[in-house]
């Protein structure tokens, strides 16, 4: 029986692509490098900030010192502009209200820096989530199951009692690696094909559709 739902953040709960792209492009401009169209950031985002910076830099500039320099500039800019355009997707608040009403435990696990993930969730969603975690020092990021399993343990649920909801193949692999139910969302940064290729058992096209999935899964037990 599904008792808890774990969500990815960027591309799943919130549309943050414009703020991430704007801050990334501003950092590139400060360094005198070419910028990228916003649409390209759909495939730059998702594997943590260091990977984002590595991907946006010119090929010949992707060495440790430059990645670190660009990352510091990006963080300075993004820390001041992270909620300029970022907002919850349509229907997210209604979905969360429905899940809470039904008694599900809720968590967010992101590859975004922990302090920033918690700040965005707090400012946009208040205290609706039982647990929120971004990238934690000395712990591997998604799709490694370590952090996700730790959060599940804190929530007092087994992996097979959890659904993991995300917009990318990495999120689906996280679900598979932890033994949770993989649910993909079609409104995020990636596409249905990537979700299915990486283990999605369901793909929902609107936030409230998750209620049908959970009802179906729990009815089959």
Residue 40 belongs to a domain with what CATH number?
Answer: 1.10.150
Residue 221 is predicted with a pLDDT of 60
Residues 197 and 114 in one domain: yes
Number of domains in the chain: 2
Peptide bond into 143 cis (omega under 30): yes
Residues 29 and 101 in one domain: no
Residues 38 and 110 in one domain: no
Average pLDDT, 10 consecutive residues per value, the chain (221 residues)? 97 97 98 97 89 96 97 96 97 98 97 94 97 92 95 96 97 98 96 96 98 94 60
Residues 114 and 133 in one domain: yes
Residues 64 and 172 in one domain: no
Domain termination residue (choose one: 61, 81, 101): 81
Residue 49 is predicted with a pLDDT of 87
Residue 220 is predicted with a pLDDT of 72
Domain termination residue (choose one: 62, 81, 100): 81
Residues 64 and 90 in one domain: no
Residues 157 and 57 in one domain: no
Residues 110 and 183 in one domain: yes
Residues 110 and 50 in one domain: no
Residues 77 and 181 in one domain: no
What is the domain range of residue 146? 4-15+86-219
Domain termination residue (choose one: 55, 81, 107): 81
32: left (phi over 0), alpha (psi -120 to 50) or beta: left
Distance CA 41, CA 26 (A): 14
Residues 138 and 165 in one domain: yes
* CATH number of the domain enclosing 99: 3.40.50.1000
Residues 166 and 196 in one domain: yes
- Give the distance from CA 47 to its chain's centroid: 9
Q: For the purposes of burial, counting CB atoms within 10 Å of the CB of 220, is it exposed (0-12), middle (13-18) or buried (19 or more)?
A: exposed
pTM over 0.75: yes
Strand 14-15 to strand 87-88: parallel, antiparallel, or no bridges (unpaired)? antiparallel
């Amino acid at each position: 029986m599904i008792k808890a739902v774990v969500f990815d953040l960027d591309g799943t709960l919130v549309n943050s692509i414009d703020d991430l792209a704007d801050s990334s492009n501003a950092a590139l401009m400060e360094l005198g490098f070419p910028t990228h169209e916003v649409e390209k950031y759909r495939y730059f985002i998702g594997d943590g900030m260091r990977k984002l910076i590595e991907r946006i830099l010119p090929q010949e500039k992707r060495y440790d010192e430059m990645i670190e320099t660009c990352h510091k500039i990006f963080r300075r800019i993004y820390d001041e502009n992270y909620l300029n355009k970022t907002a919850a997707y349509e229907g997210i608040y209604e979905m969360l209200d429905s899940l809470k009403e039904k008694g599900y435990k809720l968590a967010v696990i992101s590859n975004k820096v922990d302090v920033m993930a918690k700040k965005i969730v707090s400012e946009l969603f208040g205290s609706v989530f039982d647990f929120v975690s971004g990238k934690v020092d000395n712990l591997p990021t998604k799709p490694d199951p370590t952090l996700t399993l730790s959060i599940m343990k804190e929530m007092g649920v087994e992996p097979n009692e959890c659904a993991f909801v995300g917009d990318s193949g990495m999120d689906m692999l996280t679900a598979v690696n932890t033994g949770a139910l993989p649910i993909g969302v079609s409104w995020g940064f990636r596409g249905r094909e990537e979700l299915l290729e990486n283990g999605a058992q369901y793909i929902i096209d609107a936030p409230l559709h998750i209620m049908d999935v959970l009802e179906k899964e729990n009815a089959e037990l």
